[in-house]
Protein backbone atom coordinates (compact mmCIF):
# COMPACT_ATOMS: atom_id res chain seq x y z
CA UNK A 1 0.00 0.00 0.00
CA UNK A 2 1.42 3.36 -0.96
CA UNK A 3 1.45 6.45 1.19
CA UNK A 4 -1.13 8.12 -1.02
CA UNK A 5 -3.52 5.24 -0.68
CA UNK A 6 -3.04 5.27 3.04
CA UNK A 7 -3.88 8.89 3.32
CA UNK A 8 -6.99 8.44 1.29
CA UNK A 9 -7.99 5.52 3.43
CA UNK A 10 -9.69 7.33 6.24
CA UNK A 11 -10.25 10.76 4.82
CA UNK A 12 -13.90 11.52 4.54
CA UNK A 13 -14.00 13.55 1.37
CA UNK A 14 -12.77 11.00 -1.07
CA UNK A 15 -15.14 8.26 -2.08
CA UNK A 16 -14.53 5.08 -3.92
CA UNK A 17 -16.98 4.97 -6.79
CA UNK A 18 -16.00 1.46 -7.80
CA UNK A 19 -16.56 0.09 -4.33
CA UNK A 20 -19.88 1.90 -4.06
CA UNK A 21 -21.06 0.44 -7.32
CA UNK A 22 -19.97 -3.00 -6.34
CA UNK A 23 -21.69 -2.71 -2.99
CA UNK A 24 -24.95 -1.78 -4.65
CA UNK A 25 -24.67 -4.65 -7.11
CA UNK A 26 -23.95 -7.16 -4.36
CA UNK A 27 -26.82 -5.91 -2.27
CA UNK A 28 -29.24 -6.11 -5.17
CA UNK A 29 -28.17 -9.64 -5.88
CA UNK A 30 -28.84 -10.54 -2.27
CA UNK A 31 -32.59 -10.03 -2.52
CA UNK A 32 -33.00 -11.24 -6.08
CA UNK A 33 -35.61 -13.92 -6.73
CA UNK A 34 -33.93 -17.30 -7.18
CA UNK A 35 -34.80 -19.88 -9.78
CA UNK A 36 -35.76 -22.49 -7.21
CA UNK A 37 -38.37 -20.16 -5.77
CA UNK A 38 -40.08 -20.00 -9.13
CA UNK A 39 -39.80 -23.78 -9.46
CA UNK A 40 -41.50 -24.28 -6.10
CA UNK A 41 -44.49 -22.15 -6.96
CA UNK A 42 -44.84 -23.69 -10.39
CA UNK A 43 -44.70 -27.14 -8.82
CA UNK A 44 -47.33 -26.16 -6.30
CA UNK A 45 -49.66 -25.01 -9.05
CA UNK A 46 -48.86 -28.04 -11.20
CA UNK A 47 -49.78 -30.29 -8.28
CA UNK A 48 -53.31 -28.94 -8.52
CA UNK A 49 -53.66 -30.32 -12.03
CA UNK A 50 -51.54 -33.44 -11.70
CA UNK A 51 -52.72 -34.73 -8.32
CA UNK A 52 -56.47 -34.09 -8.23
CA UNK A 53 -57.02 -36.82 -5.65
CA UNK A 54 -54.44 -35.42 -3.25
CA UNK A 55 -56.05 -32.07 -2.54
CA UNK A 56 -56.44 -32.65 1.18
CA UNK A 57 -52.84 -33.52 1.84
CA UNK A 58 -51.66 -30.69 -0.41
CA UNK A 59 -53.82 -28.32 1.59
CA UNK A 60 -52.33 -29.70 4.77
CA UNK A 61 -48.86 -29.07 3.40
CA UNK A 62 -49.65 -25.49 2.42
CA UNK A 63 -51.04 -24.72 5.87
CA UNK A 64 -48.15 -26.36 7.67
CA UNK A 65 -45.72 -24.52 5.41
CA UNK A 66 -47.20 -21.15 6.30
CA UNK A 67 -47.11 -22.08 9.96
CA UNK A 68 -43.47 -23.21 9.74
CA UNK A 69 -42.36 -20.16 7.80
CA UNK A 70 -43.89 -17.94 10.45
CA UNK A 71 -41.84 -19.81 13.06
CA UNK A 72 -38.75 -19.24 10.95
CA UNK A 73 -39.13 -15.51 11.53
CA UNK A 74 -38.84 -16.15 15.24
CA UNK A 75 -36.34 -18.99 15.25
CA UNK A 76 -34.28 -18.61 12.10
CA UNK A 77 -34.11 -14.84 12.21
CA UNK A 78 -34.41 -13.71 15.81
CA UNK A 79 -32.96 -16.94 17.20
CA UNK A 80 -35.72 -17.63 19.72
CA UNK A 81 -36.49 -21.29 20.31
CA UNK A 82 -40.21 -21.53 20.90
CA UNK A 83 -42.07 -24.51 22.27
CA UNK A 84 -45.42 -22.83 22.05
CA UNK A 85 -45.89 -21.51 18.56
CA UNK A 86 -49.11 -23.52 18.29
CA UNK A 87 -50.70 -21.03 20.68
CA UNK A 88 -50.97 -18.54 17.83
CA UNK A 89 -52.01 -21.16 15.31
CA UNK A 90 -54.75 -22.38 17.63
CA UNK A 91 -55.96 -18.94 18.59
CA UNK A 92 -56.17 -18.05 14.92
CA UNK A 93 -58.14 -21.21 14.22
CA UNK A 94 -60.60 -20.51 17.02
CA UNK A 95 -60.93 -16.88 16.00
CA UNK A 96 -61.75 -17.85 12.43
CA UNK A 97 -64.13 -20.58 13.55
CA UNK A 98 -66.00 -18.37 15.99
CA UNK A 99 -66.23 -15.57 13.48
CA UNK A 100 -67.71 -17.91 10.89
CA UNK A 101 -70.10 -19.36 13.44
CA UNK A 102 -71.41 -16.13 14.91
CA UNK A 103 -70.73 -13.21 12.60
CA UNK A 104 -69.64 -13.59 9.04
CA UNK A 105 -68.73 -16.58 6.93
CA UNK A 106 -66.51 -14.62 4.57
CA UNK A 107 -63.16 -16.46 4.66
CA UNK A 108 -60.91 -13.51 3.88
CA UNK A 109 -62.35 -11.44 6.72
CA UNK A 110 -61.75 -14.51 8.86
CA UNK A 111 -58.07 -14.43 7.96
CA UNK A 112 -57.75 -10.80 8.95
CA UNK A 113 -59.54 -11.31 12.23
CA UNK A 114 -57.43 -14.38 13.01
CA UNK A 115 -54.27 -12.42 12.24
CA UNK A 116 -55.42 -9.62 14.47
CA UNK A 117 -56.29 -11.82 17.43
CA UNK A 118 -53.17 -13.97 17.16
CA UNK A 119 -51.04 -10.88 16.62
CA UNK A 120 -52.47 -9.31 19.76
CA UNK A 121 -51.61 -12.41 21.76
CA UNK A 122 -48.15 -12.43 20.21
CA UNK A 123 -47.62 -8.80 21.06
CA UNK A 124 -48.67 -9.25 24.67
CA UNK A 125 -46.63 -12.39 25.24
CA UNK A 126 -43.58 -11.07 23.42
CA UNK A 127 -42.70 -9.01 26.47
CA UNK A 128 -42.32 -12.19 28.47
CA UNK A 129 -39.65 -13.61 26.20
CA UNK A 130 -37.49 -10.52 26.05
CA UNK A 131 -35.26 -11.34 28.93
CA UNK A 132 -33.73 -14.44 30.28
CA UNK A 133 -31.95 -17.38 28.80
CA UNK A 134 -33.00 -19.95 26.23
CA UNK A 135 -34.29 -22.01 29.12
CA UNK A 136 -36.57 -19.28 30.42
CA UNK A 137 -37.88 -18.75 26.93
CA UNK A 138 -38.59 -22.43 26.51
CA UNK A 139 -40.51 -22.39 29.74
CA UNK A 140 -42.39 -19.26 28.80
CA UNK A 141 -43.36 -20.31 25.31
CA UNK A 142 -44.30 -23.80 26.44
CA UNK A 143 -46.26 -22.36 29.35
CA UNK A 144 -48.17 -19.94 27.19
CA UNK A 145 -48.96 -22.69 24.71
CA UNK A 146 -50.28 -24.97 27.43
CA UNK A 147 -52.16 -22.13 29.02
CA UNK A 148 -54.00 -21.34 25.81
CA UNK A 149 -54.91 -25.01 25.44
CA UNK A 150 -56.25 -24.96 28.98
CA UNK A 151 -58.19 -21.76 28.29
CA UNK A 152 -59.83 -23.36 25.26
CA UNK A 153 -60.63 -26.40 27.33
CA UNK A 154 -62.13 -24.44 30.21
CA UNK A 155 -64.16 -22.03 28.13
CA UNK A 156 -66.28 -24.78 26.70
CA UNK A 157 -69.30 -22.46 26.37
CA UNK A 158 -67.33 -20.56 23.74
CA UNK A 159 -65.00 -23.08 22.22
CA UNK A 160 -66.93 -26.30 22.51
CA UNK A 161 -64.34 -27.65 24.93
CA UNK A 162 -63.06 -31.09 24.13
CA UNK A 163 -65.67 -31.56 21.37
CA UNK A 164 -64.20 -28.72 19.39
CA UNK A 165 -65.98 -26.11 17.38
CA UNK A 166 -68.13 -27.23 14.51
CA UNK A 167 -71.33 -26.42 12.74
CA UNK A 168 -70.07 -23.53 10.71
CA UNK A 169 -69.61 -23.33 6.99
CA UNK A 170 -67.86 -20.77 4.92
CA UNK A 171 -69.21 -18.54 2.19
CA UNK A 172 -67.51 -18.51 -1.17
CA UNK A 173 -64.18 -16.73 -1.00
CA UNK A 174 -64.79 -13.04 -1.70
CA UNK A 175 -68.20 -14.18 -2.85
CA UNK A 176 -66.66 -15.76 -5.93
CA UNK A 177 -65.09 -19.15 -5.27
CA UNK A 178 -67.13 -21.77 -3.53
CA UNK A 179 -65.43 -24.44 -1.39
CA UNK A 180 -66.01 -27.81 -3.05
CA UNK A 181 -66.16 -31.30 -1.64
CA UNK A 182 -62.86 -32.36 -3.13
CA UNK A 183 -60.98 -29.50 -1.56
CA UNK A 184 -59.83 -28.07 -4.86
CA UNK A 185 -60.83 -24.54 -4.01
CA UNK A 186 -59.47 -25.08 -0.53
CA UNK A 187 -56.05 -25.95 -1.87
CA UNK A 188 -55.86 -23.03 -4.23
CA UNK A 189 -57.09 -20.74 -1.49
CA UNK A 190 -54.40 -21.95 0.93
CA UNK A 191 -51.78 -21.81 -1.75
CA UNK A 192 -52.71 -18.25 -2.61
CA UNK A 193 -52.58 -17.23 1.04
CA UNK A 194 -49.24 -19.02 1.47
CA UNK A 195 -47.91 -17.22 -1.58
CA UNK A 196 -48.98 -13.80 -0.41
CA UNK A 197 -47.70 -14.51 3.11
CA UNK A 198 -44.43 -15.77 1.76
CA UNK A 199 -43.92 -12.70 -0.39
CA UNK A 200 -44.60 -10.45 2.57
CA UNK A 201 -42.23 -12.38 4.82
CA UNK A 202 -39.66 -12.41 2.08
CA UNK A 203 -39.70 -8.64 1.94
CA UNK A 204 -39.28 -8.55 5.70
CA UNK A 205 -36.41 -11.01 5.51
CA UNK A 206 -34.39 -8.88 3.12
CA UNK A 207 -35.23 -5.56 4.69
CA UNK A 208 -32.92 -3.72 7.08
CA UNK A 209 -35.25 -4.98 9.79
CA UNK A 210 -34.67 -8.61 8.76
CA UNK A 211 -30.94 -8.03 8.76
CA UNK A 212 -31.06 -6.53 12.22
CA UNK A 213 -32.89 -9.61 13.49
CA UNK A 214 -30.15 -11.85 12.18
CA UNK A 215 -27.63 -9.61 13.87
CA UNK A 216 -29.42 -10.06 17.17
CA UNK A 217 -29.33 -13.80 16.69
CA UNK A 218 -25.73 -13.89 15.55
CA UNK A 219 -24.19 -11.69 18.23
CA UNK A 220 -26.50 -9.83 20.58
CA UNK A 221 -23.70 -7.94 22.30
CA UNK A 222 -22.35 -6.56 19.07
CA UNK A 223 -25.83 -5.83 17.82
CA UNK A 224 -26.24 -3.56 20.82
CA UNK A 225 -22.96 -1.91 19.98
CA UNK A 226 -24.21 -0.84 16.57
CA UNK A 227 -27.33 0.46 18.31
CA UNK A 228 -29.78 -2.28 17.34
CA UNK A 229 -32.67 -1.98 19.82
CA UNK A 230 -33.03 -5.72 20.26
CA UNK A 231 -36.14 -5.74 22.41
CA UNK A 232 -38.21 -3.59 20.11
CA UNK A 233 -37.22 -5.72 17.15
CA UNK A 234 -38.12 -8.94 18.93
CA UNK A 235 -41.51 -7.59 19.94
CA UNK A 236 -42.23 -6.62 16.35
CA UNK A 237 -41.11 -9.86 14.75
CA UNK A 238 -42.82 -12.00 17.37
CA UNK A 239 -46.06 -10.16 16.71
CA UNK A 240 -45.73 -10.57 12.96
CA UNK A 241 -44.90 -14.26 13.28
CA UNK A 242 -47.91 -14.73 15.55
CA UNK A 243 -50.13 -13.09 12.94
CA UNK A 244 -49.01 -15.45 10.21
CA UNK A 245 -49.32 -18.45 12.51
CA UNK A 246 -52.84 -17.26 13.26
CA UNK A 247 -53.60 -17.05 9.56
CA UNK A 248 -52.35 -20.61 9.11
CA UNK A 249 -54.66 -21.71 11.91
CA UNK A 250 -57.55 -19.86 10.31
CA UNK A 251 -56.90 -21.66 7.03
CA UNK A 252 -57.14 -24.99 8.81
CA UNK A 253 -60.40 -24.02 10.49
CA UNK A 254 -61.88 -22.73 7.24
CA UNK A 255 -60.87 -25.62 5.00
CA UNK A 256 -62.00 -28.29 7.45
CA UNK A 257 -64.99 -26.39 8.88
CA UNK A 258 -63.91 -27.64 12.25
CA UNK A 259 -61.69 -26.53 15.09
CA UNK A 260 -60.51 -29.28 17.37
CA UNK A 261 -58.75 -28.55 20.66
CA UNK A 262 -55.84 -30.31 19.00
CA UNK A 263 -54.93 -27.04 17.24
CA UNK A 264 -53.37 -25.90 20.50
CA UNK A 265 -51.72 -29.18 21.43
CA UNK A 266 -48.08 -29.31 22.37
CA UNK A 267 -47.23 -31.78 19.65
CA UNK A 268 -48.17 -29.18 17.09
CA UNK A 269 -45.53 -26.82 18.44
CA UNK A 270 -43.00 -29.63 18.45
CA UNK A 271 -43.98 -30.72 14.94
CA UNK A 272 -43.51 -27.30 13.49
CA UNK A 273 -40.07 -27.03 15.10
CA UNK A 274 -39.23 -30.30 13.46
CA UNK A 275 -40.59 -29.20 10.10
CA UNK A 276 -38.40 -26.16 10.17
CA UNK A 277 -35.40 -28.16 11.24
CA UNK A 278 -35.79 -30.61 8.41
CA UNK A 279 -36.03 -27.82 5.88
CA UNK A 280 -33.42 -25.58 7.45
CA UNK A 281 -33.82 -22.32 9.31
CA UNK A 282 -33.16 -18.74 8.39
CA UNK A 283 -34.16 -18.66 4.73
CA UNK A 284 -37.97 -19.03 4.88
CA UNK A 285 -38.28 -21.70 2.21
CA UNK A 286 -37.01 -24.20 4.74
CA UNK A 287 -40.51 -24.17 6.16
CA UNK A 288 -41.93 -25.12 2.76
CA UNK A 289 -39.47 -27.94 2.09
CA UNK A 290 -39.86 -29.19 5.62
CA UNK A 291 -43.64 -29.14 5.39
CA UNK A 292 -43.61 -31.23 2.23
CA UNK A 293 -41.22 -33.82 3.66
CA UNK A 294 -42.80 -33.94 7.10
CA UNK A 295 -46.33 -34.34 5.80
CA UNK A 296 -45.36 -37.08 3.38
CA UNK A 297 -43.39 -38.98 6.03
CA UNK A 298 -46.11 -38.60 8.62
CA UNK A 299 -48.72 -39.69 6.14
CA UNK A 300 -46.73 -42.77 5.22
CA UNK A 301 -46.08 -43.61 8.85
CA UNK A 302 -49.66 -43.24 9.93
CA UNK A 303 -50.64 -45.71 7.23
CA UNK A 304 -48.10 -48.23 8.48
CA UNK A 305 -48.58 -47.74 12.21
CA UNK A 306 -51.70 -45.68 12.77
CA UNK A 307 -51.30 -45.61 16.55
CA UNK A 308 -47.59 -45.36 17.06
CA UNK A 309 -46.38 -43.03 14.36
CA UNK A 310 -45.32 -40.69 17.14
CA UNK A 311 -42.58 -43.14 18.02
CA UNK A 312 -41.13 -42.97 14.55
CA UNK A 313 -41.40 -39.22 14.40
CA UNK A 314 -39.45 -39.15 17.66
CA UNK A 315 -36.86 -41.51 16.29
CA UNK A 316 -36.46 -39.39 13.19
CA UNK A 317 -35.92 -36.33 15.37
CA UNK A 318 -33.26 -38.07 17.43
CA UNK A 319 -31.45 -39.36 14.37
CA UNK A 320 -31.77 -36.00 12.68
CA UNK A 321 -30.02 -34.25 15.54
CA UNK A 322 -27.35 -36.89 15.93
CA UNK A 323 -26.47 -36.77 12.26
CA UNK A 324 -26.34 -33.05 12.63
CA UNK A 325 -28.68 -30.49 11.23
CA UNK A 326 -25.83 -28.73 9.54
CA UNK A 327 -24.72 -31.77 7.64
CA UNK A 328 -28.27 -32.69 6.85
CA UNK A 329 -29.15 -29.33 5.45
CA UNK A 330 -26.31 -29.53 3.02
CA UNK A 331 -28.57 -31.33 0.58
CA UNK A 332 -30.29 -28.01 0.24
CA UNK A 333 -27.00 -26.16 0.31
CA UNK A 334 -27.46 -24.79 -3.15
CA UNK A 335 -30.73 -23.22 -2.27
CA UNK A 336 -30.07 -21.40 1.01
CA UNK A 337 -26.57 -20.41 -0.02
CA UNK A 338 -27.89 -18.63 -3.00
CA UNK A 339 -30.75 -17.05 -1.20
CA UNK A 340 -28.63 -15.56 1.51
CA UNK A 341 -26.46 -14.01 -1.12
CA UNK A 342 -23.19 -15.66 -0.28
CA UNK A 343 -22.28 -16.48 -3.81
CA UNK A 344 -19.16 -15.00 -5.27
CA UNK A 345 -19.06 -12.39 -7.87
CA UNK A 346 -17.99 -13.61 -11.27
Instruction: List all residues 6 or more positions away from 113 whose beta carbon is below 8 Å from its beta carbon.
Output: 95, 96, 99, 250
Helix (H) and strand (E) counts in the chain: 17, 0
CB atoms near residue 154 (< 10 Å): 11
CB 64 within 8 A of CB 86: no
Contacts to other proteins from residues 281-300, by CB under 8 A? none
Binding mask 111-150 for other proteins (x = CB under 8 A): -----------------x-xxxxxxx-xxx-xxx-xx--x
Name the 3-class secondary structure at 336. Answer: helix
**Minimum Å distance from CB 104 to other proteins?**
29
**Minimum Å distance from CB 21 to other proteins?**
7
Contact between 33 and other proteins per CB under 8 A:
no
**Minimum Å distance from CB 153 to other proteins?**
8
Contact between 178 and other proteins per CB under 8 A:
no
Determine whether 119 is exposed, middle or buried from the number of CB atoms within 10 Å of its CB (0-12, 13-18, 19+). Answer: buried
Stretch that binds other proteins, among 48-56, 106-114, 221-229, 285-293 (CB under 8 A): 221-229
Contact between 333 and other proteins per CB under 8 A:
no
CB burial string 105-117: b at 16+ within 10 A, e below = bbbebbbbbbbeb
**Minimum Å distance from CB 326 to other proteins?**
10
The terminus-to-terminus CA distance of the chain in angstroms comes to 25
Contact between 236 and other proteins per CB under 8 A:
yes
**Minimum Å distance from CB 8 to other proteins?**
7
Binding mask 41-80 for other proteins (x = CB under 8 A): ----------------------------------x-----
From the list 4, 9, 181, 304, which residue makes contact with other proteins (rule: CB under 8 A)? 9
Amino acid sequence: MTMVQQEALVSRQSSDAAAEGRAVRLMKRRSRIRIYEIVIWLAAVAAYFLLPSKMLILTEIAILALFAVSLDLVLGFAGIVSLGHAAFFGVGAYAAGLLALHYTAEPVIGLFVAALVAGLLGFLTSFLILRGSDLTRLMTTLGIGLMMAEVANQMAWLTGGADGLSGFSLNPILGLFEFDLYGKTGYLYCLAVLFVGMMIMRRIAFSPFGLSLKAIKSNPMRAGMISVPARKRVVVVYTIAAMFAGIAGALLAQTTSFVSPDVLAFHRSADVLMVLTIGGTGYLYGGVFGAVLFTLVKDALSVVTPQYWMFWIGLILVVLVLIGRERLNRWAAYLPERLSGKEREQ
